Amino acid sequence: MLLVTKHLAELCTLVIDDIYGELPSRIFAALLNRGRAGLPQLAQYTSLTPRQLRHGLAVLLQYDLLYFYVSGPDRSTVYDAKPAAAYNLLRTGKVLEMVDSLYGSDARDVVQSMLALGHTRIVDLKEAYKAKIDKADAADRNGTNGTSNGHANGDHTHGYTNGDSLHHHDAQASKRPVIRSLTHLNSVLCRLIHAEIVEVVTTASFKSFPDRQTEAREKVMTTYFPDGVRGAKKKEFETRLSEELYNLRDEPRKLKRNLQSHGGGGRQKLRKLLNGDKVNGFHSDERDPTLDPKIVLRVNHDKCAVELRNSRLVQAAAAAIGETTAEVYGSLLRQLSDTIPRCRADPLIDIPGGEFYRARAIETSDIFDNLSPDLDVFTGIGKAAPDEIDVPSAERLQRHAKLEGIAFGEDAGDDEDFDLDDEEYDMEGETYQPPPAMAAASTSNGNHATNGTTKGVKFDESATSLPSPPSEELRMQQMRQHLLLLCDNKFKFVRHCGRGTWTVDFEPLLKRLRESELDNAIERKAGRYGLRLARILRDKGKLDEKTLPTMALMKKSDVQNKMLEMQMHGFVDMQEVPRDNNRSASRTLFLWFCDSPRTLDTLLDNAYKAMVRFLRIRDVHRRDNKEVLTFVQRPDVKGREKEALEKKYFDKYQLYCEIETKLMGQVMRLDSLVATLRDY
């Protein structure tokens, strides 16, 4: 359940007002501030007529921004706001960019159309694309070029792309639609459904989780426990309830399983399409089954968040180790994400030890098969002689995830969960010999640990010559060195969990990334000394103000000033523990502590506040340039602003676009922080 603060509610209202207008945003704001309400209550809260309310509610329901529930003997309908869906409107640009990079431009065009249309039936989507294709064919017959703006219905999509303006338009539109035929559209939809980027809309999709839980509880009670739940039956009741909730949540995935049974829309076919597997000059789309035209589809933002999380982890790996290693990491993450429907588990549905919590291991050969053949895996790693490498330490296996409490100060996991026996390192074949490129990455550090001691790497220049072109076996061995670098990094991007198998422990990894974001915020506000004090408190727990200067190797006055500064920013706090009932200052212990979860919540809310400010500033600039912006929105002006506007007005328009690009770029940077702290 998303915690809605004042700044998040204001941010969601601003986004809806910018995209859909004042009427839907007014209704949405009333539902956020007042809670669940019916039509009479909304009329009282918003001072709108029933006709206006019905129009506004229809827009919000069309774009999945509301829950509704019909109950009572009079079958009255109540509505509830969906703040997570409203916030997801900000990520439209990131979602489209992700779909384009992973599934192709045709998939991006379809997703863009669905975001513009809201949830829609397949038959309506096909009719819109058929009209667009027929228009392009007619234009070709008449000797003119049909243009495509990338939308099936000609409407603009949500304008929050990665720093791009709502008013930026490409003057050179494509001559032909990206979707060539209805068969091609059907194939793209099958691929997106198989990847879970698009999901089926059911009746349960419009019910909030408390409503689903209430209905599931009543159904389980009626079916399995008509005599009530007492004693030992409580545990069985909770299990039955979790199963029922899981079935309700899993219902939109039934269409994906049907496609898998017919062999359509899989990632293997997507890989062939992207690599240019064509039949008679066109992609072979006839192998996909025809979808039922009555099915209603929408974009699945939970799965999109999983793919965006992969991009965030790849960026972190590139910053920590290098670009080549990050490409290898991305190949592993793409295969792991095939079976991950959402970033975070629901404790009421996903039972510990169930499907969501079971770590999936990927074999080295599978990672290599999905790696881009254009990637040069021999770059990004320093060269060292084989005798300089402690192979057993580098190849050690970790059977279980080490749930370290480094992010929030919990106790570390038991060392018994590890298999550190040097005799059981992974050789992956009796003839394996460490390649000469096996050493610490030169981009991360210049030292290498040998049997627990640190010494400088002595590069062997004679070992740098490689066969041209390198064999597949040598490329795979070199790729494994990148995976071992990911295992050895302080963030523990990858875990070597078996002979030739690798996995990613997302929960502890994201905790480390959240700690890194918190450290960056503390260092910006309080400097390096403040960061040192915060790390000591996270590691040791509550400390007396007399003990802290000794541990930090700082003067007492400097520690006091720095701690007061950090307390003002909300990074640390103090607890008073009186030694007796007098509660005098001389008989009181003052303990400093760092409450990381609360600090992260404060940091998250500050990010919401900053995003609201940027959007407000953009609205001010938009009002100041209203006349120019209204003129450039005309269909005969779009794409030829420089010719249609006088120089002073064109310069004014350019200045506004630059300001808006910078503002939206800052919003997207803050969105990356919000995603790391809240969603991933």
Task: Give the tens place of pLDDT for each residue, 173-195.
Answer: 445 678 888 999 999 999 999 99
Residue 495: phi, psi to the nearest 5? -120, 130
- Residue that terminates a domain, selected from 552, 573, 594: 594
Residue 1 pLDDT: 63
- What is the pLDDT at residue 359? 66
| 467 in the same domain as 338 | yes
Q: Are residues 158 and 220 located together in one domain of the fold?
A: yes
CA dihedral (624, 625, 630, 633) positive or negative: negative
**Secondary structure letter of residue 640 according to DSSP:** -
- In this predicted structure, what is the pLDDT of residue 106? 92
Residues 209 and 293 in one domain: yes
The verdict on 62 and 94 lying in the same domain is no
Q: Strands across the sheet with 362-363, in order? A: 362-363, 501-503, 495-498
Q: Cα–Cα–Cα angle for 674, 678, 680, nearest 5°? A: 100
Tell me the H-state helices in 201-253: 209-224, 233-250
Do 99 and 245 reside in the same domain of the chain? yes
Quick one: 354 and 253 in the same domain?
no
Closest CA to 362 of 332, 403, 392, 382: 332
> Would you say 293 and 125 are in contact if contact means Cβ atoms under 8 Å apart?
no
User: ∠ at Cα 486 (485, 491), nearest 5°?
Assistant: 120
Residue 384: predicted pLDDT? 66
- H-type alpha helices, 252-300: 254-262, 267-274
Is residue 320 a contact partner of residue 489, using CB atoms and an 8 Å limit? yes
Is residue 396 one of the residues assigned to a domain? yes
Eight-class DSSP state of 417: G
Beta carbons of 66 and 275 less than 8 angstroms apart: no
| CA distance linking residue 256 with residue 483, whole number of Å | 31
- Is 512 within the bounds of a domain? no
Residues 118 and 176 in one domain: yes
Same domain, 657 and 550: no
Residues whose CB is less than 8 angstroms from the CB of residue 638 and which lie 6 or more positions away in sequence, other chains included: 169, 632
* Helix ranges, 80-144 (H): 83-88, 92-103, 105-117, 122-141
Q: What is the pLDDT of residue 175?
A: 56
Specify if 360 maps to a domain.
yes
Q: Residue 219 falls within a domain, yes or no?
A: yes
Structure tokens at 436: 């000469």
User: 21, 164, 224: which is closest to 662 by C-alpha?
Assistant: 164
- Residues of the chain with confidence (pLDDT) below 50: 145-159, 161-174, 272, 274-283, 405-467
Q: Are residues 295 and 406 in the same domain?
A: no
| Number of structural domains in the chain | 5
Measure CA 60 to chain center: 24
pLDDT for res 316: 94
Q: Report helix, strand or coil for 222.
A: helix
- From 299, 330, 349, give the residue that closes a domain: 299
In a domain, 463, yes or no: yes
Q: If you compute the radius of gyration of the chain from its CA atoms, what whole number of angstroms results? A: 29
Give the domain extent around 185.
89-299
Answer with the one of 450, 473, 504 that is the final residue of a domain: 504
pTM for the whole structure: 0.82
Regarding whether 325 and 276 lie in a shared domain, the answer is no
**Helix, strand, or coil here: 172?**
coil
First-residue to last-residue Cα distance in the chain = 14
Q: Please name the residue that has the structure tokens 């210049």.
A: 446
Residues, the chain, total? Answer: 680
Q: Coil, strand or helix: which one is 83?
A: helix
Q: Residues 621, 666: one domain? A: yes
Q: What CATH number is associated with residue 554?
A: 1.10.10.10
Tell me whether residue 176 is in a domain. yes
Confirm whether 514 is domain-assigned: no
448 and 590 belong to one structural domain:
no
The tokens describing 5, both together, are 């603060």
Q: Is residue 518 part of a domain?
A: no
